[in-house]
């Protein structure tokens, strides 16, 4: 159980990191498209329009990350001081300060939040605006100077060291070894920790120097995972075999890679299929000169090729296709040698984390919730939570919204969010078994909040327990 809690905390940390980036991924996409079209060597080179590319990456994107990180911690005041202090690390260095923004945004907003909580009960009526403005200004100015003099140069030095290490690894042809860490991290829902916290910041530094970076294709390269799913769809058994083709479509076209993870968790030996395919794919990217301009989000084939520079189109296509084939062949051999496990079992059921099975719906709703939740309180707001709050939870919210509509509960608000950063006014949080601990860590121990773990966001029958709770708490006499 301790391992489960530790993994939940690691995932929560990763969720915080991805929560700084996920809300502004559309900006990354827009920047990537402009770069792909207008830079020298792009599809339609335009020196005049290309002048916008560098300033947007150096100023706009770090400032947005700083604001978003601050907003996640302390609302608009946190966002304001997050952006303000991020400017200090931007101006104090010569490298893209994405990592600096991911430090200053949370740090400054956390300090301001602590001060606001401390001073709130001590502020005399009529002085609220005075205190608010001057506290943000003074704390923000101090931390901006602090970031300019210390955090910025420190991050720049660290980025320089890591960039040199990445360059050495690339020159030595060792990039494929990243697959050893990335494949297991994906199926344990730790991919955002690695991708947004380590690979993406280094990737942008590399892309600024070389025009593209392979690091953007370590996590988002979905050729290998599609190859693994294809092997399951051909040589698997039972429900896994039947559901794998739909998972391929969702992961490959919609770019929601989370649908692949449970298949490997249900048959862990298959991680070696994805690992092998990714290693070969990365090796080809190094040999052929592939890479992306920026983060492909969502991680679909469409997004990958939209973020591909003109000179990397063929290398990227070859590496993804070969990665798919290699993963398929390895997956085929593994399934023939080791079998499919319990082929009749849903691949997303009974997810095991850290050696302990996460509590089931009945465990949570009957043992914990019954004793602490007033069932007379109606449910007005439901949050469907996934890792990033953008992909699978958005589809789950649509499924549950339609179910509520059929039952006559159209007035209940249903939104999708991250498992560690959702609205605290929610009455019910629905998330995957493997994320229920993370969701609880983010609840601030609020009473009358139901936590309902499910096995699959897309299957209506998985929401039966949630519907039962809604009917119980929203029941009114005719």
Q: pLDDT averaged over the chain?
A: 81
Structural contact between residues 21 and 200, judged by C-beta atoms closer than 8 angstroms:
yes
Residue 103 lies in a domain: no
Please indicate, yes or no, whether residues 282 and 371 belong to a single structural domain of this protein: no
- 18 has a pLDDT exceeding 50: yes
Question: 386 an active-site residue?
Answer: yes
Please indicate, yes or no, whether residues 337 and 243 belong to a single structural domain of this protein: yes
Mean local confidence (pLDDT), 350-361: 35
Residue 37 lies in a domain: no
Residue 124 lies in a domain: no
Residue 155's CB is within 10 A of a number of other CB atoms, namely: 24
Question: H or E stretch including 266?
Answer: helix 261-266
Please indicate, yes or no, whether residues 280 and 342 belong to a single structural domain of this protein: yes
* pLDDT for 446: 64
Please give the Cα distance from 54 to 7 (Å, whole number): 38
Highest mean pLDDT among 114-118, 197-201, 254-258: 114-118
Read off φ and ψ for residue 385, nearest 5 degrees.
Answer: -115, 135
Please indicate, yes or no, whether residues 351 and 362 belong to a single structural domain of this protein: no
* pLDDT for 120: 83
Boundary (domain end) residue, out of 323, 357, 391 = 357
- Torsion, Cα 242 243 247 253, to 10 degrees, reads 60
CATH, residue 389: 3.40.50.2300
Boundary (domain end) residue, out of 315, 342, 357 = 357
Residue 341 lies in a domain: yes
Number of compact structural domains in the chain: 2
More confident site: 351 or 296: 296
- Greatest CA span in the chain, whole angstroms? 75
Please indicate, yes or no, whether residues 388 and 334 belong to a single structural domain of this protein: no
Please indicate, yes or no, whether residues 262 and 320 belong to a single structural domain of this protein: yes
* pLDDT for 356: 32
Residue 421 forms beta bridges with which residues? 418
* pLDDT for 203: 84
Please indicate, yes or no, whether residues 177 and 282 belong to a single structural domain of this protein: yes
- 363 has a pLDDT exceeding 50: no
Model confidence band, residue 107 (pLDDT cutoffs 50, 70, 90)? very high
Please indicate, yes or no, whether residues 344 and 309 belong to a single structural domain of this protein: yes
Domain of 352, in residue numbers: 1-10+173-357
Boundary (domain end) residue, out of 307, 340, 357 = 357
Please indicate, yes or no, whether residues 233 and 300 belong to a single structural domain of this protein: yes
Please indicate, yes or no, whether residues 228 and 368 belong to a single structural domain of this protein: no
Please indicate, yes or no, whether residues 332 and 417 belong to a single structural domain of this protein: no
Please indicate, yes or no, whether residues 272 and 284 belong to a single structural domain of this protein: yes
Residue from 207, 386, 430, 454 carrying the catalytic annotation: 386
Mean local confidence (pLDDT), 26-50: 82
């Amino acid at each position: 159980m301790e391992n489960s809690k530790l993994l939940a905390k690691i995932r929560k940390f990763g969720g915080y990191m991805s929560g700084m980036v996920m809300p502004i991924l559309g900006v990354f996409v827009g920047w990537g498209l402009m770069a792909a079209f207008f830079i020298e060597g792009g599809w339609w080179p335009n020196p005049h329009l290309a002048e916008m590319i560098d300033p947007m990456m150096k100023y706009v994107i770090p400032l947005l990350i700083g604001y978003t990180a601050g907003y996640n911690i302390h609302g608009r005041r946190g966002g304001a001081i997050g952006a303000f202090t991020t400017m200090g690390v931007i101006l104090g260095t010569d490298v893209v300060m994405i990592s600096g923004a991911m430090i200053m945004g949370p740090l400054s907003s956390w300090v301001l939040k602590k001060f606001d909580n401390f001073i709130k009960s001590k502020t005399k009526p009529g002085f609220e605006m005075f205190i608010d403005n001057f506290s943000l200004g003074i704390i923000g100015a101090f931390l901006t100077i602090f970031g300019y003099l210390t955090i910025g140069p420190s991050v720049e030095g660290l980025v320089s060291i890591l960039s040199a290490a990445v360059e050495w690894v690339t020159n030595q042809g060792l990039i494929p070894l990243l697959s050893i860490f990335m494949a297991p991290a994906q199926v344990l829902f730790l991919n955002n920790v690695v991708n947004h916290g380590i690979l993406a910041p280094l990737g942008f530094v590399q892309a600024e120097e070389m025009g593209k970076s392979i690091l953007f294709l370590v996590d988002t390269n979905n050729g290998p995972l599609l190859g693994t799913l294809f092997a399951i769809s051909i040589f698997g058994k039972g429900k896994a075999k039947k559901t794998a083709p739909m998972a391929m479509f969702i992961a490959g076209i919609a770019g929601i890679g989370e649908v692949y993870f449970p298949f490997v968790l249900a048959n862990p030996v298959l991680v070696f299929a994805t690992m092998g395919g990714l290693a070969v794919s990365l090796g080809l990217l190094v040999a052929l000169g592939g890479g992306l301009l920026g983060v492909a989000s969502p991680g679909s084939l469409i997004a990958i090729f939209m973020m591909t520079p003109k000179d990397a189109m063929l290398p990227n296509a070859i590496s993804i296709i070969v990665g798919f084939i290699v993963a398929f062949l390895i997956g085929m051999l593994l399934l023939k040698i080791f079998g499919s496990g319990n082929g009749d079992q849903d691949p997303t059921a009974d997810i095991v984390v850290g050696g302990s099975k996460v509590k089931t719906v009945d465990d949570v709703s009957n043992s914990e919730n019954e004793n602490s939740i007033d069932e007379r309180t109606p449910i007005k707001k439901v949050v469907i939570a996934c890792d990033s709050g953008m992909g699978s939870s958005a589809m789950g919210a649509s499924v549950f919204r339609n179910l509520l509509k059929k039952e006559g509960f159209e007035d209940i608000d249903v939104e999708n969010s991250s498992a560690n950063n959702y609205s605290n006014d929610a009455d019910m949080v629905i998330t995957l078994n493997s994320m229920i601990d993370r969701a609880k860590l983010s609840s601030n121990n609020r009473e009358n909040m139901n936590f309902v773990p499910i096995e699959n966001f897309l299957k209506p029958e998985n929401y039966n327990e949630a519907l039962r709770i809604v009917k119980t708490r929203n029941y009114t006499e005719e």
